[in-house]
Amino acid sequence: MTEWLLPIRLVSEGNIHEHWTKKHKRHKQQQILINSMANTTIRPILPVLVILTRISPRKLDDDNLQYAFKSLRDYIADYLIPGLKLGRADNDPRITWQYKQQKGKPHAVKIQFIETFSLD
């Protein structure tokens, strides 16, 4: 199992109204953090379970939680399956996604990769 803890403040993008440049800047920073961790970690072998945990003082409801992770999910999938167009790899059946949240400070995101070897 591999675990990353990143200093990312996830927001409920479904409920926030902001200029597109602010959203773009936030997603770019997330991409940079994922890429920096990817350069220092051995890529997990597929199939893999990816557990995304949002750490924040307040919780989001389930649909907003998953939506808040959308760009991170795309960047993580791109790391796991390189070479596809961004946003395509996260639908691969070899990757299982699980979303969690826990109360805590400071804001952060914990990403766990658990290799789930198949005996097919």
Q: What is the pLDDT along the chain (120 residues), one digit of tens a residue?
A: 899 999 999 988 777 888 889 888 988 999 999 999 999 989 999 999 999 999 999 999 988 999 999 999 999 999 999 988 888 899 999 999 999 999 998 999 999 999 997 655
User: According to the model, what pLDDT value does residue 92 have?
Assistant: 94
What CA–CA distances, in Å, run from 27 to 94, 97, 115, 118?
25, 19, 27, 33
Task: Give bridge partners of residue 55 from the DSSP assignment.
Answer: 102, 108
User: According to the model, what pLDDT value does residue 86 have?
Assistant: 80
CATH class given for the domain over 2-115:
alpha beta
Q: How far is CA 70 from the centre of its chain?
A: 7
User: According to the model, what pLDDT value does residue 118 have?
Assistant: 63
What is the rounded CA–CA span in Å between residue 23 and residue 4?
A: 23
Q: Give the position of tokens 């220092």.
A: 40
pTM score over 0.75:
yes
What is the rounded CA–CA span in Å between residue 29 and residue 36?
A: 11
User: According to the model, what pLDDT value does residue 87 have?
Assistant: 82
User: According to the model, what pLDDT value does residue 119 have?
Assistant: 55
User: According to the model, what pLDDT value does residue 120 have?
Assistant: 55
What is the rounded CA–CA span in Å between residue 54 and residue 87?
A: 21
